[in-house]
Amino acid sequence: MELDPKGISSKNNYSLMKTINQYEPSYGIEEAKEVEAYLKTNGWLTEFRQTRRFEEELAKFTGAKYCSVVINGTVSLFIALKALGIGRGNEVIVPDITMAATPNAALLCGATPVFVDIEPHSHCIDLNQIKKAISKKTKAVIHVSLNGRAGELSMLKKFCKEKGLHLIEDAAQSLGSFYNGRHLGLNGAVGSFSLSIHKLITTGQGGFVITNNKQIHDSIKMLKDFGRKKGGMDNYLKVGWNFKFTDIQASFGIAQLRKIDDRIKFKRWLFDLYKNFLSDVSQIKFLETDLTQTTPWFVDIMVNNRNSLMKYLKEKGIDTRPVYPALHTQHAYNGSSDVKFTNSYRESERVAKKCLWLPSSFTLKEEDIRYICNVIREYYKIKKVL
Ligand SMILES: *Cc1c(COP(=O)(O)O)cnc(C)c1O
């Protein structure tokens, strides 16, 4: 829990108004120890042994053959597209509800993102809408497993195979989430993840890609290091950049990764607890979520009068966050000839209007959730939970 800004210790007395943030960072002595131990080795700071170790551990955790860390989850998408040869003149299909990083990674490599509507039950890209949006120029589909939910991924996988399209998974929100028992990120050519501060584990900034394809992996390794096969050997085989990690971040990440099983349990517990405390509030809808597979990074609900509820919660010291806007409505893309739109965005507009992220930090206690849910119940004039 955040320290009381007024310095009032108010553990159980919420009327003293402590703020519950929608999210706050979580790390401690374990990360400090790991970073300190690394610094004592007089290492070169840039990526080397600690980073290789971190990559191996991430590969092991996800069940991937190969893993490469990069500077963030935007670059991990960019480098995935690049490794697949996607660039100018190609269209990349993306969902209309996602973080801007998804279409912007396509734009960064010169391709045209095509915004497509989502499915109502999973908030993932809708295969039927993809079918209407593909053209001769379509080269790839980016599937975003929003909040760890995968939607109709196996059908999408089959479709991409039939049509000869690359499937890329933007699994930035899906570390710790599975689909038919397998970790997300391995259903297409490449899976992309973020290690930014809100994600299940963090290195401050950071991202990584996983793949089972050695050629793609080798290509990514080169693209993140100026197109060289090896540092110190300036022989450029491709046009590449510097997207390398640091061993400081890797040390921090190794300590975070040790907590991942507990974090998965926590997020699932949190989702379930909110759901139980709000189960009889008919105005609030939870998405169907299989908590044996999905690890929601944030607890998301669907409500009609979102802004009014948000305002009420804010007055009671509870911060929430609306989900992403429907991207086709955004100034960045609206009227731009660098992107393409389709005809219907019924579901993305609905989700953009109704979906709300509730406080979801690792620091939350059961009493906090009880408090938050009681305030929500109060708003709807429903008697408190015990
Ligand atoms: C967080 C996120 C990203 C971007 O990751 P960064 O590390 O912040 O660049 C991309 N896609 C989705 C779906 C995300 O949630």
Backbone angles phi, psi at 291, to 5 degrees: -75, 0
Distance CA(257)–CA(261), nearest Å, equals: 8
Q: Which of 125, 170, 190 to mutate to test the pocket of ligand 1 (most atoms within 8 A of CB)?
A: 170
Distance CA(51)–CA(46), nearest Å, equals: 9
- pTM assigned to the model: 0.95
Is the Cβ–Cβ distance between 22 and 358 less than 8 Å? yes
Q: For the chain, what percent of residues have pLDDT higher than 90?
A: 92
CB-based pocket (< 6 A), ligand 1: 72-74, 98-99, 101-102, 144, 170, 172-173, 194, 196, 207
In this prediction, residue 8 has a pLDDT band, given cuts at 50, 70 and 90, of: very low
pLDDT tens digits, one per residue of 370-380: 999 999 999 99
pLDDT tens digits, one per residue of 229-248: 887 888 999 999 999 999 99
Is the Cβ–Cβ distance between 299 and 323 less than 8 Å? no
Report the nearest-CA residue for atom 6 of ligand 1: 73
226 C-alpha to ligand 1 centroid (Å): 23
